[in-house]
């Protein structure tokens, strides 16, 4: 008889059910629209509606703010399953989590009660404005400023590469409140799309995730009430980093989902495709490529789920595990999807088959929420400071 102790090392039934429910919605409503979403470069409004209908658009929001209250592991599984079908659509729950995480970690009860329920109800999305034209990896070098003026702050500056910008109603915006002090002078605010002085650049023309608009966001004398400050003034840098500790796990999940989509498609294809009088899956060279892909995928998934558990518990080594899962799973997704194109040969290189889209979509997971070079800096720093408990 199986030792019940080992029951802990598999997904609880509740998480298996979350996967099955998400898969059902995605197979029916999201996957059939993925190719068109990519080729038309449009926000997948119908997929968003389907996700809203199933309460999968912002699953992480706690029940007390009208959310589904799904934990970090369940949220990772939701994002993974959506990404398996359509990476662009998976950015809906991923970026809703990214945008709202600073509130969940640091905002007043009043701010949380005002801004989280509309996201939970699917009436608004929430984007995260950290990067700037001259401050991508070097967050502390940001130039956007927020100046206190009576009961208000006045924001001026520009943010770049903001996912779902223009579609989202709400934005977490990081700005310098004490210029010249680097990471010690940054604060976080909630800004609304409707605030006078907020405007957007044209959608970026991108390699992948074409259904998720990426735009600049401009702040021109944007006056907001001072109570839109998230947490404590000048402590925004740490809030930004703590947020990314949690949400790099969701990018890892997205990468796992994209990789799974590619493995699923390629393994079906090689069993159908005949060359030299037999299916190409009969050749060891092909089997080795598939085996490598499946192995990397399984490893990336395990790391992601461990990191998700650490995110849920707020373990002190989350920084290490979040960065490691994101870095490993995204590098794996890039290799897996590139090999999937190779396995389909000439067909894989055409838009008639989904693997070239998956390869293009995988690339961003190595770049956003911190390049994989930044992840390695974070990982090494955690290791050398004794914070990584392997
Ligand atoms: N949790 C809490 N505090 C943290 C922290 C963390 N994870 N990481 C750093 N800190 C603290 C440090 O302890 C330090 O505190 P003290 O001043 O009290 O000592 C302070 O923050 C400054 O830390 P560093 O000196 O390490 O900061 P740095 O300027 O050298 O930057 C970095 C470090 C790792 C390079 C960081 O800037 C970084 O992660 N850059 C990448 C940014 C990134 O991921 N951008 C993604 C944008 S979002 C996006 O892509 C979203 C999208 O659209 C999908």
> Which residue has its alpha carbon closest to ligand 1 atom 39?
370
- CA dist 108 and 88 (Å) reads 32
- CA dist 303 and 125 (Å) reads 28
Share of the chain above pLDDT 90, in %: 96
- CA dist 306 and 324 (Å) reads 11
Quote the ligand 1 centre to 371 CA distance (angstroms). Answer: 12
Q: What atom of ligand 1 comes closest to residue 248's alpha carbon? A: 44
Q: For ligand 1, is residue 81 a contact (CB within 6 Å)? A: no
pLDDT (0 to 100) of residue 284 = 98
pLDDT (0 to 100) of residue 7 = 67
What distances in angstroms separate CA 43 from CA 109, 184, 200, 390, one per listed residue? Answer: 32, 37, 16, 40
**Count of positions (residues) in the chain:** 390
Q: For ligand 1, is residue 131 a contact (CB within 6 Å)? A: yes
Neighbours of 244 (CB within 10 A): 25
CA dihedral of residues 38, 39, 42, 46 (deg, nearest 10): -70
369 is catalytic: yes
pLDDT (0 to 100) of residue 388 = 86
- Start-to-end CA distance of the chain, whole Å, equals 31
Tokens of 377: 């800096």
Q: pTM of the entire structure? A: 0.97
In this predicted structure, the answer to whether residue 19 has a pLDDT above a threshold of 90 is yes
| Among 128, 238, 316, 382, residue to substitute to test ligand 1 (most atoms within 8 Å of Cβ) | 238
For residue 132, how far is the Cα from the chain centroid? 18
Catalytic residue among 132, 216, 235, 369: 369
Quote the ligand 1 centre to 238 CA distance (angstroms). Answer: 7
| Among 95, 183, 320, residue to substitute to test ligand 1 (most atoms within 8 Å of Cβ) | 183
What ranges in the chain are assigned the alpha helix state H? Answer: 13-25, 31-40, 45-53, 72-85, 87-106, 109-120, 236-272, 284-313, 318-348, 355-365, 372-384
Residue pLDDT, tens place only, 305-364: 999 999 999 999 999 999 999 999 999 999 999 999 999 999 999 999 999 999 999 999
- CA dist 123 and 364 (Å) reads 27
Do the beta carbons of residue 68 and residue 54 sit within 8 Å?
Answer: no
Tokens of 140: 């502390």
In this predicted structure, the answer to whether residue 49 has a pLDDT above a threshold of 90 is yes
Map tokens 């194109």 to a residue.
341
- CA dist 86 and 105 (Å) reads 29
In this predicted structure, the answer to whether residue 382 has a pLDDT above a threshold of 60 is yes
In this predicted structure, the answer to whether residue 260 has a pLDDT above a threshold of 60 is yes
Q: For ligand 1, is residue 186 a contact (CB within 6 Å)? A: no
pLDDT (0 to 100) of residue 89 = 98
In this predicted structure, the answer to whether residue 226 has a pLDDT above a threshold of 60 is yes
Residue pLDDT, tens place only, 145-177: 999 999 999 999 999 999 999 999 999 999 999
> Which residue has its alpha carbon closest to ligand 1 atom 2?
238
Residue 5, burial from CB neighbour count under 10 angstroms (0-12, 13-18, 19+):
exposed
pLDDT (0 to 100) of residue 383 = 96
Do the beta carbons of residue 130 and residue 140 sit within 8 Å?
Answer: no
Largest CA distance in the chain: 79
- CA dist 249 and 131 (Å) reads 19
Quote the ligand 1 centre to 196 CA distance (angstroms). Answer: 30
User: What confidence category does residue 39 fall into, taking pLDDT thresholds of 50, 70 and 90?
Assistant: very high
Neighbours of 348 (CB within 10 A): 24
Neighbours of 88 (CB within 10 A): 27
User: What confidence category does residue 6 fall into, taking pLDDT thresholds of 50, 70 and 90?
Assistant: low
Residue pLDDT, tens place only, 70-117: 999 999 999 999 999 999 999 999 999 999 999 999 999 999 999 999
> Which residue has its alpha carbon closest to ligand 1 atom 18?
184
In this predicted structure, the answer to whether residue 390 has a pLDDT above a threshold of 90 is no
Average pLDDT over the chain, rounded to an integer: 97
Quote the ligand 1 centre to 65 CA distance (angstroms). Answer: 28
Within 8 A by CB and 6+ apart from 321, the residues are 249, 303, 306, 307, 310, 315
In this predicted structure, the answer to whether residue 184 has a pLDDT above a threshold of 60 is yes
- CA dist 315 and 303 (Å) reads 15
- CA dist 224 and 20 (Å) reads 43
Within 8 A by CB and 6+ apart from 302, the residues are none
- CA dist 301 and 307 (Å) reads 10
Mean pLDDT of 294-310: 98
Quote the ligand 1 centre to 241 CA distance (angstroms). Answer: 5
220 backbone dihedrals φ, ψ, rounded to 5°: -120, 100
DSSP secondary structure letter of residue 185: G
Beta strand 152-163 with 126-129 is unpaired
Do the beta carbons of residue 129 and residue 98 sit within 8 Å?
Answer: no
- CA dist 321 and 307 (Å) reads 5
Do the beta carbons of residue 216 and residue 200 sit within 8 Å?
Answer: yes
Quote the ligand 1 centre to 42 CA distance (angstroms). Answer: 32
In this predicted structure, the answer to whether residue 5 has a pLDDT above a threshold of 90 is no
> Which residue has its alpha carbon closest to ligand 1 atom 22?
183
DSSP secondary structure letter of residue 130: -
User: What confidence category does residue 389 fall into, taking pLDDT thresholds of 50, 70 and 90?
Assistant: confident
Q: For ligand 1, is residue 89 a contact (CB within 6 Å)? A: no
Mean pLDDT of 248-264: 98
């Amino acid at each position: 008889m199986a030792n019940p102790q080992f029951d802990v090392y598999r997904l609880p039934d509740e998480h298996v059910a979350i996967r099955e429910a998400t898969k059902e919605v995605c197979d029916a409503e999201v996957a059939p629209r993925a190719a068109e979403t990519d080729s038309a470069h449009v926000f997948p409004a119908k997929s968003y509606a389907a996700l809203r209908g199933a309460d999968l658009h912002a699953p992480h929001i706690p029940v007390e703010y009208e959310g589904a209250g799904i934990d970090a592991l369940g949220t990772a599984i939701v994002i993974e399953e959506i990404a398996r079908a359509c990476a662009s659509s998976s950015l809906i729950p991923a970026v809703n989590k990214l945008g709202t995480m600073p509130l969940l970690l640091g905002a007043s009860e009043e701010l949380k009660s005002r801004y989280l329920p509309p996201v939970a109800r699917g009436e608004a999305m929430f984007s995260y404005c950290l990067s700037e034209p001259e401050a991508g990896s070097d967050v502390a070098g940001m130039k956007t400023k927020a100046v206190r003026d009576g009961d208000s702050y006045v924001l001026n500056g520009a943010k770049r590469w903001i996912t779902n910008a223009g579609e989202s109603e709400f934005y977490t915006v990081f700005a310098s409140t004490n210029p010249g002090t680097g990471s010690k002078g940054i604060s976080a605010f909630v800004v609304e799309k409707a605030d006078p002085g907020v405007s957007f650049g044209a959608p970026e023309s991108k390699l992948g995730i074409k259904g998720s608009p990426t735009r600049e966001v401009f702040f021109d004398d944007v006056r907001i009430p001072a109570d839109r400050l998230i947490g404590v003034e000048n402590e925004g840098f740490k809030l930004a980093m703590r947020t990314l500790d949690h949400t790099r796990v969701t990018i890892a999940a997205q990468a796992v989902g994209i990789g799974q989509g590619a493995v699923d498609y390629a393994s079906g294809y090689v069993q159908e495709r005949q060359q030299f009088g037999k299916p190409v899956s009969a050749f060891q060279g092909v089997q080795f490529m598939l085996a490598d892909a499946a192995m990397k995928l399984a490893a990336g998934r395990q790391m992601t789920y461990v990191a998700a558990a650490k995110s849920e518990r707020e373990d002190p080594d989350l920084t290490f595990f979040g960065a490691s899962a994101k870095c490993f799973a995204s590098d794996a997704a890039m290799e897996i999807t590139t090999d999937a194109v190779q396995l389909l040969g000439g067909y894989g290189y055409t838009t008639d088959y989904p693997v070239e889209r998956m390869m293009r979509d995988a690339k961003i997971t190595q770049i956003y929420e911190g390049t994989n070079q930044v992840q390695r800096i974070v990982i090494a720093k955690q290791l050398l400071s004794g914070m990584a408990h392997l």
